[in-house]
Amino acid sequence: MHDEVVRRRRWLSDAEFLDLVGATNLIPGPNSTELAIHLGYRRAGACGLVLAGASFIVPAFLTVLACAWAYVRYGALPEVQAALYGAKPAILAVVVHALWRLGRTALKDAATVVAATAAVALAFAGVHELLLLAAGGLGLCLVRGLRPPGALWAGAGLAAAGPTAVPFDLATLFFTFLKIGSVLFGSGYVLLAFLRADFVVRLGWLTEAQLLDAVAVGQVTPGPVFTTATFVGYLLGGGVGAVVATVGIFLPAFVFVAATHPLVPRMRRSAVASAFLDGVNAVSLALMAAVTWHLGTASVVDAPTAVLAAVALAVVAQGHVNSAVVLVACAGVGLLVRALAP
């Protein structure tokens, strides 16, 4: 985006671009999508906001939709299962590497380390992820001697909703993804923690294996990782479910950008916003670590997958090979291992 809108088209300066990057970090939702929406709003007002966001999301939506259709139609074939057998350890490697890379940024002092450590323990104990996020943000504000606004305290109370088991319906699908899009801070990889908590644990609509497959598709296709919602929606409700899930998870981004765009300069200078974000980022990292453990138990199931995960992590960590290439290569190895198995 920087190359396109700053260097080539000169629509805004480096400083203005960084202001918008900072603004996306201070609101929930998919950062890359929100940056695209901010740039569209800056360039052409409300029409630009809608056009930029839609142009960024729709190609990825269509690609993931096609993958979801193929998965439902052909996913039970032995060859596809063999490819997924090899690809899942690579997904684990990509997530572990992202966890390490993000940790060096998010864990910036003793307070954030303590917050993340406590959040990991509480996540394994079953504490609701929204309560952990709110507590992390509020806690960092208090540690730094700042008083959070009353709205943040109210949010902490709302975050403690208990688990509910309900049969599948489109309204629940929409509002679950709307909630996720409204509260999720940080990397798209943190999305895994929310998907597992809602769709695997609380609702029981997905298995661990299906979640891993959804993550794999979100990773190897171009565009925002949040289009994983498209895949999940299609698995659960067909084409209509895919549209409902995609609209649900991305809609808050348009609302947040429209509401905060005029406040960008003040948001960047706010000590309270900065402290709250530091706490939320630390807890987001902890949630990501907790879900990585569950992904590991579902993807590393024998010696070949353990070796694949280790090799994939070593390759990804070097930074010279695109993670999608690693995934495809591991899928090929999975096919070979299954073909040679007695």
pLDDT computed for residue 152 by the predictor: 47
Tokens for 251?
């809609």
Q: Which residue in 106, 148, 113, 130 sits closest to 276, CA to CA? A: 148
Q: Which residue in 329, 341, 340 sits closest to 87, CA to CA? A: 329
pLDDT computed for residue 264 by the predictor: 66
CB pairs under 8 A, 24+ apart, for 300-305? Answer: 300/89, 300/92, 304/337, 305/85, 305/86, 305/88, 305/89
Determine the Cα–Cα distance for residues 139 and 130; give it in Å rounded to an integer: 14
pLDDT tens, position by position, 251-261: 999 999 999 88
| Contact criterion met (CB below 8 Å) for 253 and 34 | yes
Tell me the C-alpha to C-alpha distance, in Å, between residue 291 and each of 86, 147, 230.
20, 31, 20
Residues (pLDDT < 70) of the chain are 146-166, 186-189, 264-265, 267-269, 342
Longest dimension (CA), the chain: 65
pLDDT tens, position by position, 184-193: 876 666 788 8
Determine the Cα–Cα distance for residues 67 and 257; give it in Å rounded to an integer: 30
